[in-house]
Every structure is written in structure tokens, then in C-alpha cells.
Homo-oligomer: A and B are copies of this chain.
């Protein structure tokens, strides 16, 4: 690690001081650097009106002890300059903030063996907490396909779509290292929601649990909003599986758009409120429709790397006909049977040709004889 201790410790202290994604904080760090900002805040009067009691609060933080305590529960604090720092987060510097949340995080708390720079081609799969069974099934499928391709599936470990995507990734990526990363709104040493303790623990053991919130922090609304920007920023593309019109998943989608990541949406029945937010964005051209993991990989893949196999249906009996035979076929009626001379007239062909053609079509099961005439079979009509 080439990051000086002083830099890391200053960032630990600033991270504890500010809320995740606090734009004043992230902007000042970008402008002044972490060490200089920390010194200014600690030793001088608050120069930019960041906080009024900031010096006192900052003085009470012991970053060395924070790091030691964190290490004891398996947490590391990853900062810019670390080998595993994901360069993708740099895009947050230029992206405009939403509701006072934004900017490059001061650092990220990470638990788990997966290095954050492995996220370079990760895919985020997010959506409604109140998912339908359909949505959960699709999220799980996409998670599995993405993980099977060797890419990391990023999500927020929430109820519904999030946890289905994690679970799919874990099942699909059993052979690969660290198939999934959970980005939490609470401290990375905590578990939220409690019901997902098992899957979050599994992710911490095989992939990574990540949070911008300092250890011990509880999940608050501001932290969810700040967290959503990290899900979008740490992934090459975001897939929204189900989202009602006001769903928080659309906040993540919004970030993906601002960060110029691929933004994908899975359609569903138009009668399902849970798909309405997705349909709205596809309709507006803000989101690309995807129907499964194959489509997703095509969108996020390097050019040509993961092209969806063209959906080539198996050749039908019709495909195997000669041009002449098809001309005959196209002139055979679907309902009332017709005589070969009427078929010949419609086809513009000679009667002998038509008779030969009809015999071949009969063999193929495309036409049938009825009431002394010829007509298409149900198969040919298809």
C-alpha cells in the first residue's frame, strides 16, 4: 500500500465525522485533500461552515483505534491510492449530486476477501423491496447468469429483488471467486435487514460487504440515498428488475444515468404496478429493455465479447422447401380446400408443377387433402 498512514487516518476521522455522501465533505476533500482538511477542521476555526462543533467532534475521534477495532471484526478501510481502490468511483466527482448526496467517498469500509478493483466489470441488479414472485425469479436468473460469466453481481441486500439477485449470483457463481458484493446503508460490521444475516454473512465470507458509513452506524434514509450512488458507480451497468413509480430503485437508476453507466430494465406485465417505473423509463428512452442475463451481458460486455446469440429458431418445415414449393404453399388456402387448378392460378404456376409441389408439401405435413381439395394444415398456418 502506497497510501501514507497520515492520509488514511485523516480519512478515517473525516469519514466518522461526516455522513455518507455529504456533498460539503466530499467537495472539501476533493478541493483541499483529506490531510489538509482534517488539520484545518481540527486546529483552526471551521473555515467553510461545515459544522459548528466540528473541532470538538473531530478531536474525539481516534482513527488509529477505529482502524484497530475495525480490523478485529474483519473490516478494512479502503481509500484512494490503495491498489484495490476502484477507479470507477472517480466518476462521482463530476456527476451532479442528488438531494445533497454525492461526490467521491472519503473511503469505503470493506469486509470480505474480494478486492474492490475486481468490480471493474460488475453488474448491479436492483429493484423493489415489494417484489413479485416473477420479479424475484427474473432477478435470481440474471444474478446467476452474470455470476456464471465471471462478473460480480452488486446489490443492496434489501428484501425482494436485491436479495434474489445476490442469491442467484451465489448459486450461479459457485465455481468463481466472490460472485457477489453487498453495499449496505449501515456500517459494514452490521447486518440490515436482520432477516438477511445468513446471505450477508455468506457474501462477507466469499465476496465483499461494503459501506461508506462508519462501523456501528445504523441504516438511515440519507445513508440509503448515498449508498445507491455507490451501487451505480461501482458497476458497469445497472439492471432494474421491478420498480414501482416511486421506488428507491429508481434513485439508483438515476445515478447510473448520471454516471453514464448502462441502464437496463426488465419489463413485466403492464398490469403490474411493480413494473410501472421500469416501463416508464424504457418508454422515455432512458433505459434499455433486457429480457435476461444474456441481454445484460451483451449490454455491459466489451464490444463483441458477450454478443447475445441470435435467437435462431430451429428451421421449420417451410424453411426446408424450395422457392417453387413455397410459391405453391403460399397459394394453398387455409380454410376451404381448393383444387389444384385454382392453386395454380393463384401461384402463377403450371398445373404439373403445382401437383408435384402439393405432393411434396403433403409429405412435409404442411398441406392436407379435404373434401377433394387441398388446404394448409394447422402447423403450416402457424
Contacts and interface: CB of A to CB of B under 8 A. Distances in A.
Q: How many copies does the complex hold?
A: 2
Contacts of A246: 313, 382
A376 B270 CA distance: 31
Contact of A330 (B221, B267, B275): B221
Interface string A329-352: 111111110100000001010000
A279 B290 CA distance: 8
A70 to B, nearest CB: 19
Nearest to A134: B269
Nearest to A291: B270
Given A289-B289, A291-B270, A333 B220 contact: yes
Contacts of A322: none
Contact of A283 (B137, B291, B335): B291
A276 interface: yes
A284 B313 CA distance: 18
A245 interface: yes
A280 B332 contact: no
A301 interface: no
A125 B346 CA distance: 29
Interface string A256-273: 000000000011111100
Given A279-B289, A291-B279, A346-B19, A221 B331 contact: yes
Given A218-B333, A282-B289, 15 more contacts: A51-B348, A138-B271, A192-B335, A218-B335, A218-B338, A220-B330, A220-B333, A221-B331, A221-B332, A246-B382, A267-B267, A267-B268, A267-B282, A268-B268, A279-B291
9 contacts: A138-B270, A193-B335, A194-B335, A219-B333, A221-B332, A222-B330, A269-B269, A276-B311, A279-B291
Interface of A: 19, 51, 134, 137-138, 186, 192-194, 218-222, 225, 245-246, 266-271, 275-276, 279-280, 282-283, 288-292, 295, 311, 313, 329-336, 338, 346, 348, 376, 382
